[in-house]
Structure 1
Amino acid sequence: MKQISIRMKDRIRNYTASIDQLLQNPPQSTNWKLVQESHLQQIVFFQHERLVHLIVTMTVAVLTLLSAGFALLTGLFTLLLLTGVLFLLFLCYLLHYFLLENQVQAMYVQYDRIQKHLHP
């Protein structure tokens, strides 16, 4: 069985783009109640992903600060290397968290627009 792997960044962007397209050109037969329920479930999934990445991002930030503190206190070069690696990892997580946060916020706006179709 072929396994398909989609990066979270692509998944959330593709999903929000598909909802934007549906909202711009909705077919006459659109079941807005079903769209609303499905969209709400996707929001829950992405909120969970966002929470997990917030926890991981904060953990890496704390480890980076601890590593920097120990490097300054001990003067060990290897701890400076560890601090650099942790800092790069922190930046990557921060950028990913920023993407998730912004996309989930956009999904809230989409949800409000879906609501308008249900309650004109």
Structure 2
Amino acid sequence: MAEKDALSAAIHEASVSAGYPEDDHFQRFISLEEADLRISPLYPDLQKPRSEHALMIEAVLSSGTGDERKRLLLSAIVARLQAAGTDPNDVMVFFGEIDRASSSFGGGRPALPVDVRPKM
């Protein structure tokens, strides 16, 4: 539990540092047994193999999120996880985009736009 708490905190800190609101905190953790996951140890061009602690992070963003915002978030995630003890070699991040009108955070209301402001 403590390990997931540390990962959660690092990922959330990265999100906030990239300008997402402090209360925009929705995370899901799925732990798989070694037999249930196959990951190429060196793909695509890693210099050393991934460890058994590899993380696959799926970040769902609003459609149209710019490449620079994604790079900023990616950099922040890797830096915060490294500070929390995760080898950057073990961090994989996949961005998926969804139209805000196709989602709801509750109350039966469509999701509102997020005011993203990078911290300087």
Q: Tell me which interval the TM-score lies in, with the shorter structure as reference length.
A: under 0.3
Q: TM-score, normalised by structure 2?
A: 0.25
Q: For CA contacts below 8 A with separation 6 or more, give which structure has more relative contact order.
A: 1
Q: Which has the higher strand share?
A: 2
Q: Which has the higher helix share?
A: 1
Q: TM-score, normalised by structure 1?
A: 0.25
Task: Give the structure with higher Rg (CA).
Answer: 1
